A and B are shown apart, each in its own frame.
Chain A
C-alpha cells in the first residue's frame, strides 16, 4: 500500500472518528447539551486527534527508520569479499543492488529464472526494461536484490498494518474516554497550542539549518584549504582540476570578491542615499497629502520589481548607455573614440542597484522622520527657523540614529543582492580602484560555483558555502546592529 494511500485512509479514519466522537457525546448528554463540559465538536476533534496523530507519528518514524534498517541488513548480507574492500566499495555495491532490485520488479518469472541460473546477462536484461546499471552485475547481487525487495514488501505491509491498527486503537481509546464531564476542549486546545509552538519554532529551525548546513560544508572546505588562505588570499582562481590530476586546485582568496562586493555596494549607496533621503524629507516635511499619497506608492513600486528585471535593465540599457556615452565623451575631449567605461562595470551595477535601493532608503527614513515628535518641529519653527533649517538643525540630528539604522539595513541588502551583479558586474575577480571596469562579488561567485553539474567533494563547489557563511555573518551583523539602533530609537520617542 503506498504511503499517500495510507495517509488518505488515516484522514478518512479521522473523519469517521470525528463523527463517532460527536455522536457519542450527544448520546452521553442524554439530549441536553448543557450536561456536557465541552461542545460535541470538541469531543469529535478529540477522538479524531487520537485517531490520526499517533498513527501519523508512527508512519513518519517508520518511513525514516525502515530504509536505514533494510540498508544495514542488506549490507550485512553482501559477500565478505565486497565488504572487506572498504566503505566506498560497499556503498557502491549497495547502490547497484538497489538498481537491480528496481529492475527485478519489472521482470516476469521466466526472465528471473533465466537470470538465476546464469543463462541471461543481468545488465542486458535490465537495460531492455529501461533500467541502466552502472557496472556489470555480479551474481550475488540478484540474491541481495531479491532479499532487498522481499524486505521492502514485508516492511510496507507491516507498516500499513501497524499504522492502521494504531489509528483504530487510538480512536477507540478516545471514544471510551468520552463522558459528560470529560474536558475534551482542554485536551484539544492543548494539542492546538503544541502545534502553534511547533510552527513558531520553524523560524529557529531555519536559522539553525542555515548555520549548521553552512558550517558543516564550509568546515569540509576548510579541511582542504586553510582559512588563512581563504580569508586573506588576494587571488581568486579556483581552477577546476583536470580529470585525474591532483594537487593543484587553484587559489581561493576572498579579498577580491569582498572588495568588489563592498565597492559596488558603496557606489549603490552613494547613488541611493541622497536621492532616497531627500525624497523622504520632502515627503515627510513638505509634500501635501495628495502628492504624498501618489508619489510614495509609485516610488515603492521600484521596491516591488524583481531584481532580475533590474539585472536585465542593467544588461541591455544602462550598461550599453554608459559605454556609448563614455565613447562620446572620450572622443570629444581627446579625439579618440574609445570607450573607457565597460558595459559590465562597477558603475553599471552600482547605479542600477542604487535605483533599486531608493525606495528602501526613502520609506525607512520617511518612517523615522515622521516619528520625530511634533513639539521639536513646532519649537524650531516658532523660534523663526525656516523649514529647511528645522530639518537640518533639529529633525535630522534627532532622527540621526534611526536613519543610520535604516541605512545599515539598506547596506545589508546591497551586500546580499545577487541578480543585478550576476548580470551587470562581470566575473573578473580583481582588486582595482576604477569603477569603470568589471569587478565581481561574493554572490556572483556563489552562483557561478554552484550552477552546472556538482560534486559535493571538491573545494571548487564547497567554497560557495564558505562564501555563503561569510555573507551571512556580514549581513547578520549589519542587521542586528541596525535593528538594535532602530528599536532603541523608537523607544526614545514613544
Chain B
C-alpha cells in the first residue's frame, strides 16, 4: 500500500468513534465499483460507440441496459449493508503470542438475505457469513496478541459485493471492546516452600464433606454445592453447606516477591502465570500477590487473577 494511502486510512480510522453497537446507515456506507464493474462499464461504453457509429438502435438498448444493471448493482450492494446491526460480544482472552478471537454479533433485521464479509484492517483473514432474513450470526475475527495487556478490537471493514459482484459496498467500524493478552506462561520448576500456607481445616478424611444444611445460593458456589434435587422439585436455587470446607483448603501463595529483584518483570509475570495455571489444573487454592493487588481465592478466580497479571503495570 502506498504510504500516503496508509496515512489517509490511519487518519480515517482514528476519526471513527468506538462503538459497542453499530447500525450501518447510508452515512457510513461507501460504494465503489469492483474491477469487474469497471470492465463492464467499459464494455457498455464500447457498445454505445458501436451503436453510434453503425446506427444500431438495439445496441443502444444493450449499452443502456448494461449501464442500468450496474446502477442497479449499486443499489443492491448498498442494500446488503444498509440496516445491518453489529454488536460486540465478549472476546476470548488468551495468552501472549496466541491468536485471540474477537467475537462480534451480526444482526439482520430486514427481510433480505445478506452476504457479508468481515475483515480486520491489517489482518489478512476474511470471514464470510450468510445472514438469512431476520437472522443473526456470531463471527470471530482472529487477532494476534503480540504484547501483554489489553488490546482494542481492530477496526473492522465490513463489505459485500453481492449479488452481482459489480459494486463493492463497504463500511468501517471500530468496536468498543478489548481483549486481554495474559502473560505467556513460563515453567517455573523452583519449589517455593514458603508459598504454601497451612490451611486451618482438618487434613484429609471421608468426613470432610459432611452435609450441614441448605442455604441460599451465593455467587461463587460450585456446581457440586448446588442442591439440584431441590431445584428440580421446587424450582429453588439453594446450596448445600458442609460442616467442613472442601478439600485443599491450603492456600498457595503466588507472590511477586518470590523472585529475585534482578529478574525482569515480564518473566516474573510469566512464571506466576504458569504457577497459577498449575494450581488451577490441580484444583488447589491460591492467592496471587502482585505489587498493586492481591487476588484472594474466590469464584472466577482464574479469570480475575489472569486479568490482574495481564493488566499489571510493572514498577519501573
**Same complex origin of A and B:** no
Q: Could you list which residues of chain A lie within 8 angstroms of chain B, going by C-beta atoms?
A: none
Q: Could you list which residues of chain B lie within 8 angstroms of chain A, going by C-beta atoms?
A: none
